[in-house]
């Protein structure tokens, strides 16, 4: 039964990446990276940062790449915060395990299968949104959820979009660094 659940979860998560044979999006053809915010490089003044030339080789996939980058950045920001907050609770003797050992315990006990199932379900549900992004019907990462009204001023909204991208990129690197340090033996954060 467990093998069937894992197989079903893998099939659902892979179905999010099925080629939909969508024609080139008009968004991707306007300018570099479809004119999406955050195309500049990591150093000040650099433009058109694309070291692997993905935007040139397959411009029709640029909206998908941006959607994936925003999604992974948001998850990485939450994961980094969760790892650090969890380990600070461990230091204060609130938790009994660090984030690294809690992950290993969840893998051993099979609890990660449940996480795989739920994330696969969420990925499957998000397929129509990704397809709408590929057709140019919706901006990548935009779900129309703005309870605080940040999107009312277009100039401020564009600045916040770039901030979210850059913070997401930083969080992806930070989470990778934290997880690598934990795997190398520094099992709780901060590494004192």
Q: How far apart are the first and last CA of the chain?
A: 44
Is the predicted pLDDT of residue 16 greater than 50, yes or no? no
Q: Give 78-102 pLDDT, tens digit per residue.
A: 999 988 887 776 555 555 677 788 8
Higher per-residue confidence, 24 vs 53: 53
pLDDT at 148: 84
pLDDT at 60: 85
Least confident among 70-74, 125-129, 182-186: 182-186
pLDDT at 168: 93
Is the predicted pLDDT of residue 182 greater than 90, yes or no? no
- Whether 100 contacts 188, CB under 8 Å: yes
| Rounded Cα–Cα distance for residues 87 and 94 (Å) | 9
Residue that is written with structure tokens 């999006």 in the block: 25
pLDDT at 33: 64
List Cα–Cα distances, 108 to 4, 101, 105, 114, in angstroms: 18, 10, 5, 13
Is the predicted pLDDT of residue 18 greater than 50, yes or no? no
Is the predicted pLDDT of residue 41 greater than 90, yes or no? no
Helices (H), ranges, the chain = 2-14, 26-29, 54-57, 62-91, 99-109, 111-125, 127-134, 154-183
Higher per-residue confidence, 69 vs 24: 69
List Cα–Cα distances, 95 to 100, 114, 133, 151, 181, in angstroms: 12, 22, 41, 39, 20
pLDDT at 77: 95
């Amino acid at each position: 039964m467990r093998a069937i659940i894992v197989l079903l979860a893998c099939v659902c998560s892979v179905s999010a990446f099925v080629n939909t044979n969508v024609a080139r999006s008009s968004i991707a053809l306007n300018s570099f990276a479809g004119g999406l915010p955050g195309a500049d490089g990591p150093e000040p003044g650099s433009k058109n940062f694309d070291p692997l030339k993905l935007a040139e080789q397959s411009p029709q996939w640029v909206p998908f790449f941006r959607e994936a980058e925003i999604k992974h950045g948001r998850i990485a920001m939450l994961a980094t915060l969760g790892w650090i907050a969890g380990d600070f609770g461990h230091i204060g003797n609130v938790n009994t395990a660090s984030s690294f050992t809690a992950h290993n315990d969840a893998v051993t006990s099979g609890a990660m299968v449940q996480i795989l199932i739920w994330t696969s379900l969420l990925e499957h549900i998000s397929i129509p949104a990704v397809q709408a992004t590929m057709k140019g019907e919706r901006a990548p990462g935009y779900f129309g959820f703005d309870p605080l009204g940040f999107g009312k001023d277009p100039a401020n909204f564009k600045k916040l979009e770039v901030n979210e991208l850059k913070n997401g990129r930083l969080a992806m690197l930070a989470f990778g660094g934290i997880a690598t340090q934990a795997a190398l033996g520094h099992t709780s954060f901060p590494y004192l």
